[in-house]
Structure 1
Amino acid sequence: MKIDHALPLEYSTEQNQMNILGFWIFLGAEIMLFGTLFATYFTLVDRTGSGPSGAEIFEIAPVLIETFVLLTSSFTIGLGVHAMRIGRKKAMMTFFAITLILGLIFLGVEIYEFVHYVHVGAGLQTSAFTAALLTTLGTHGAHVTLGLFWGLFIILQVKKQGLTPKTTNKAFIFSLYWHFLDVVWIFIFSFVYLKGLM
């Protein structure tokens, strides 16, 4: 394995570069998935039947907390990647751990939201609107849950093996995934919640 020391460690081998390219292609598929969910939501947003509308069920406080927590986690994962690039293993692991804690907080608030929606009569079978809403939010939440397990695996691997071309490549790819989830959330915040509250 030839290592190019002029590049950041996560890009330093040809295999690492191919892994990153492959992950960008995977993110393209994820964009299509969420694009389809958003298109479905926008098509069904006014089909509330006898169920509540977004303006009737959305609470701004939990949504603002989720947004703040997730955007902060995007910052901490960026700090983790920076620490990784300058060879500070403990700092990298700490920032990744903070990111995961913030992800857990986000998930806790999202679970609270789901319970609230069901409590006010906005379950999956209530209307086309609530089905599209809960499917979109649930898919994002499932991706965050997967990210929490993946991030924990990365931290454990870096702790055991150190900052190698292989572990830094995996950590960098994870950071791309986490940033992607944040971008999806910005769309959810802007076009589902804010628009729904108007």
Structure 2
Amino acid sequence: MKSSETQPLEYSTKQNELNIFGFWMFLGAEIMLFATLFTSYFVYEHRIGSGPLGSEIFKIIPVIIETLLLLTSSFVIGLGINAMRMNNKKATLIFFIVTLILGLGFLGFEIDEFLHYIHEGATLQTSAFTAILLMTLGTHGAHVTFGLFWGLSIILQIKKRGLTPEAANKSFIFSLYWHFLDVVWIFIFSFIYLKGMM
């Protein structure tokens, strides 16, 4: 086993290294899931039937706010991991809590966005376009929701047991997951919203 002085806490045991490697493999499967959703979206984005176009239902201001909230949360979780590596429990907890608050804000705007779509008559049954749009956004939103509960459980573990190698490992893996959601959102913002508004 490598010395903890030269190795970050999250990599400090062989099991921790295997956990991180395994999670990268899991993210590979997640990439395939979202790649399938994006491919389906590109196939069906013009099949609107009698339903609305993206340009008719997308609202730029809420989408920009969602993007800023998620990008900021990704930066803050990075600060949390840095604080964890410096063995600063209090700062780690603060940064993780702020990350989850920003994530909750993102989710609130996304739920409001879904209600707006329903009000505009854009449901799963309206057209192929609205179905794949809601499926793609909903899948990302479900991942964010899961992330909020996961992050909360890590906060409670750190608060109770401190920055142990196990807690550090879970925290780092969670940060990878959160950054992944941020990257997926950048694709959603660029190829669904911006492209759809043109």
TM-score by length of structure 1 reads 0.98
Structure 1 letter corresponding to 2:170: K
**Which residue number in structure 2 is paired with residue 151 of structure 1?**
151
**Which residue number in structure 2 is paired with residue 71 of structure 1?**
71
Distance change in 2, residues 1:176/1:89 (3 Å): same
d(CA) in 2 for partners of 1:119 and 1:196? 19
1:124 and 2:124 correspond: yes
d(CA) in 1 for partners of 2:62 and 2:127? 23
1:116-160: per-residue Cα shift (whole Å, max 9, x none)?
000001011000000000000000000000000000000000111
**Which residue number in structure 2 is paired with residue 17 of structure 1?**
17
- Does the 8 Å CA contact 1:4/1:13 hold for their aligned counterparts? no
**Which residue number in structure 1 is paired with residue 94 of structure 2?**
94
d(CA) in 1 for partners of 2:2 and 2:12? 5
- Structure 2 residue matching 1:183: 3-state secondary structure: helix
**Which residue number in structure 2 is paired with residue 175 of structure 1?**
175
**Which residue number in structure 1 is paired with residue 112 of structure 2?**
112
Structure 2: segments with no counterpart, 5+ residues: none
Cα root mean square deviation, aligned: 0.7
Structure 2 letter corresponding to 1:130: T
d(CA) in 1 for partners of 2:136 and 2:68? 20
d(CA) in 2 for partners of 1:4 and 1:71? 34
d(CA) in 1 for partners of 2:166 and 2:147? 19
Structure 1: segments with no counterpart, 5+ residues: none
d(CA) in 1 for partners of 2:3 and 2:112? 48
d(CA) in 1 for partners of 2:144 and 2:46? 28
- Does the 8 Å CA contact 1:77/1:99 hold for their aligned counterparts? yes
1:4 and 2:7 correspond: no
- Structure 1 residue matching 2:140: 3-state secondary structure: helix
1:157-195: per-residue Cα shift (whole Å, max 9, x none)?
011111111000000000000000000000000000000
Distance change in 2, residues 1:165/1:3 (3 Å): farther
Cα displacement (A) at 1:93 = 0.5
Distance change in 2, residues 1:3/1:153 (3 Å): farther
**Which residue number in structure 1 is paired with residue 80 of structure 2?**
80
Cα displacement (A) at 1:103 = 0.3
d(CA) in 1 for partners of 2:49 and 2:177? 36
d(CA) in 1 for partners of 2:25 and 2:136? 22
d(CA) in 1 for partners of 2:101 and 2:188? 21
Cα displacement (A) at 1:4 = 2.6
**Which residue number in structure 2 is paired with residue 40 of structure 1?**
40
Cα displacement (A) at 1:3 = 6.0
